Amino acid sequence: MPLAGRNHAGGMAMRLRVARKRLSDVDRAAATSDAARSRNDRLFVVLPGVVAAVAASICGAAIVGARPAGPEVRERVLAPLDSFRRSARVPVPADNPMTRARVELGKALFFDPRLSGSGAIACATCHQPALGWQDGLARAVGHHGAVLPRRTPTILDVAWAEPLFWDGRADTLEEQAKGPLSAPQEMDMPPGQAAATVQSIAGYRKAFAAAYPGEPITVETMARAIATFERTIVSGIAPFDRWLAGDRDAISPAARRGFALFNSPRTNCSSCHSGWRFTDDGFHDIGLPGTDPGRAKIMPDVPVLDHAFKTPTLRNIAERGPYMHDGSMPTLDAAIDHYARGFIRRPSLAPEMKAFTLSPGEKADLIAFLQSLSSRDPRVTAPIPYR
């Protein structure tokens, strides 16, 4: 299970051990994460809905007498099945415990466009629940229609996803929540003005008193509330999860064959898309064209991080196109073609990137597996704004 202990440069360090054994680079990368890692002592919150869904899935499989799940094609596996079993425990920082009052306050802030300089953009403008907590665009659109250089990443299962942003520049959700608020091209709201706006609204004053009694209304406290709400955004039980729990008929034979391909040395997909969220939370150069340095802008002394971007989760991936950090792949079909043979070869290219060939049927199987990662999540609607 991905935990805070493997966050920050942890996923990257694992990547570096493979990448040309540049041990001096690994040491530098690890040193940058020591301070951040020490801040991340975690508590855990169990989400009752997830537990109930898992239990229902397992019990249902037992009732129908389902056989144990497993790959049905002759492919050597990279990772054991158990490594893909999801967790029902949400990591929560000890200095920002989750409470109902904080979740409700964070949700109100998340959907409130009054926190932007234009009064028209909220966090939910780019992270829309109906679009997989993204915006469906190749590039994000910010303040006054500015087109940003990267695609909006999903915040689905973001509680496990630290460090954050495509380049990992935010160590925690609390830190990430502050970034877009004041960024000139995004929400363009100076921190002091954001706090003053919230302070001027009676409903917010009451909500903050309940959520963070005795604490002032500041951008830091606002970010803590938003982060608390974002930790509740957890993907539901997908057909793949039911299959792992023992319901053999939860996914199609094509999806089972596709998973075997995905988890084989032949495609090498699960080398980076690992664990129950199908991400190692590391940073990899996957050979996309362009001049964006990615993680190297944050850690310029680590050569293998040039053009490296964070491995995205594959949960609900079929509904979250277009793909890649720059939105350059319109479909899953195009994304698979890139990994198979379309990548640029350069010194920083991740060693996990190896060309492969799939028949049309095998590609269809792989897409069927990716579609089996989609869950029917509860509908999330915007709250009534505080007055």
Q: What is the mean pLDDT of each run of 10 residues along the chain (387 residues)?
A: 38 39 33 36 49 35 34 69 92 97 98 97 97 97 96 98 97 96 95 97 98 98 98 97 97 98 97 98 98 98 97 98 98 98 96 97 98 96 96
How far apart, in Å, are the Cα atoms of 40 and each of 34, 160, 380?
10, 12, 29
> Which residue ranges does the chain devote to CATH 1.10.760.10?
4-89+238-371, 90-230
User: Are 118 and 189 contacting, i.e. CB atoms less than 8 angstroms apart?
Assistant: no
CATH topology for 90-230 is: Cytochrome Bc1 Complex; Chain D, domain 2 (1.10.760)
Give the closest residue to 117 by CA, choosing from 125, 127, 129. 125
What confidence score (pLDDT) does residue 15 get? 41
Active site residues: 186
Query: Which class is 4-89+238-371 in CATH?
Result: mainly alpha
pLDDT at 88: 77
Look at residue 78 in the predicted model and tell me its pLDDT. 86
Query: What pTM, to 2 d.p., does this model score?
Result: 0.84
CB 339 within 8 A of CB 286: yes
Cα separation, 251 vs 70, in Å, equals 11
